[in-house]
Structure 1
Amino acid sequence: MSGRSSLLIENYLRKAGFWHVATVSRGWKLDSKIISTLIERWRPETHTFHLPCEECTITLKDVQLQLGLPVDGSALTRSIQSADWGAICYNLLGVILDNIYGGRIEMDWLRYTFLEPGNDSTEVERIRYARAYILEMIGGYLMPDLS
């Protein structure tokens, strides 16, 4: 799923506001030296980069401009600990992961469970694949983690 998104789900990604995110990384190569330098200059106590010219930080507006994600709407301000994550997973994706840890879904499970839809796929299958694709984008390179 981490490759190019299928044209069959383009409309769903556009509707969710993730089409630009799905296309923005095409052709990019990560420079590990630049990333290492930025990590060394990050100060978690002030949430800023300490650069030779001055301090700087990344704002929500910066993220919106770079990724084309909408930032208007309700904000999430708390964690939901008592949710039935299996039911939520089934409602959104149509399958239940064997083990969900506090709402965390393994990225490998997403990749192996949701194969790219074919031309004969149903709308429900395309919607579920688009949701899995968005989850993989979020967990894969917007907020990278192992899950």
Structure 2
Amino acid sequence: MGSLIKNDGHISNTVNNMGPYRALRGRVNDLGYSLDERLMPYLELAGFGSIALIRTFDLWYDLISKLVKRWRPVTHAFHLQCGESTVTLEDVALQLELLIDGSAVTGISAIAEPVSLCYSLLIVSPADAEFNFTSLKFSWLKANFEHLSINATEHEVMCAARAYIMHIIGGLLMLDANNNRVHLMYLPLLSDLQNVRSYSWVSAILAILYYELFRTTKPDSVDIGGCLLLL
């Protein structure tokens, strides 16, 4: 591996030099709460219907750690004894049933009026005292959207669908291993649920996974994020 990586800063060199064993950590991947069947038409409209059916699963972090030791950042590939292998756009599209082609998933990192944005698209917002918040806690999403009223209007159901998609994005597809939150910059992309499928979510998911694999090749990294289900 040392001859393949040729990088003193790579975790594989630490292992080759008899350094301490490192097992990466990550958050438990699940969607937080049971899916209300009334949300499904809107999740399917947005292109997230299949992903919404994924339930809690266990990750083998020892195996993921071993894969990271085989990751070469220059080629974005795992160097294995049988040759090179990697996660491709097609892999992501087939496993998650998302489209590859589409507009880039981009957003504003600092939302000017986050409270107004949440009231507009979710009907509810975190404490008004937090004027400058940039993310939503999963616990807050669960507390406010887990139990949908039996008399919920179509608008309320659509808002609950947006909240569920936010949980999917931050808890499964593009998760941050150090944070139990999802960034608010994704919420404006969900304003028109019919338009959500026009974005290339596959490209964004793969880019973040590649970044996490690159970042965790550093020996001092202990947490890994991204869509680990793909590994």
Tell me which moved more, 62-71 or 90-99. 90-99
Amino acid at match of 2:93: Q
* Amino acid across the alignment from 1:112: A
Structure 1 pair 70–100 and aligned structure 2 pair: CA distance change class (3 A):
farther
Structure 2 match to 1:80: 108
SS of the equivalent of 1:88 reads helix
* Separation in structure 2 between the aligned mates of residue 103 and residue 58 of structure 1, nearest angstrom: 30
The CA RMSD over aligned residues, in Å, is: 2.5
Could you say which residue in structure 1 is the equivalent of 2:49? 19
Counterpart in the other structure of 1:96: 125
| Partner deviation per Cα, 1:19-50 (whole Å, 9 max, x = no partner) | 10111x33744333332322332334442222
Residue segments in structure 1 that go unaligned for 5+ positions in a row:
none
| TM-score relative to the length of structure 1 | 0.80
Q: Which runs of 5+ in 2 are unaligned?
A: 1-30, 182-231
Q: Equivalent residues in 2 for 1:62-73 (5 A)?
A: 62-73=91-102
1:116 to 147, 152, 168: 147
Q: Where in structure 2 are the equivalents of 1:133-144 lying within 5 Å?
A: 133-144=164-175
Note closer, same or farther for the CA distance 1:70–1:88 as it changes in structure 2 (3 Å cut).
farther
1:132 pairs, out of 154, 163, 178, with 163
**Match in the other structure for 1:53:** 82
| Residue identity matched to 1:53 | C
Give me the whole-angstrom Cα distance separating, in 1, the residues matched to 2:169 and 2:51.
10
**SS state of the match for residue 152, structure 2?**
coil
The answer to whether structure 1 residue 105 and structure 2 residue 136 are counterparts is yes
CA, structure 1 residues 46+13, in 2 after alignment: closer, same or farther (shift >3 Å)?
same
SS at match of 1:110: helix
1:81 touches 1:102 (CA, 8 Å); kept in 2?
no
> For the Cα contact (< 8 Å) 2:33–2:142, is it kept in 1?
no
Alpha-carbon shift at residue 109 of structure 1 (Å): 1.9
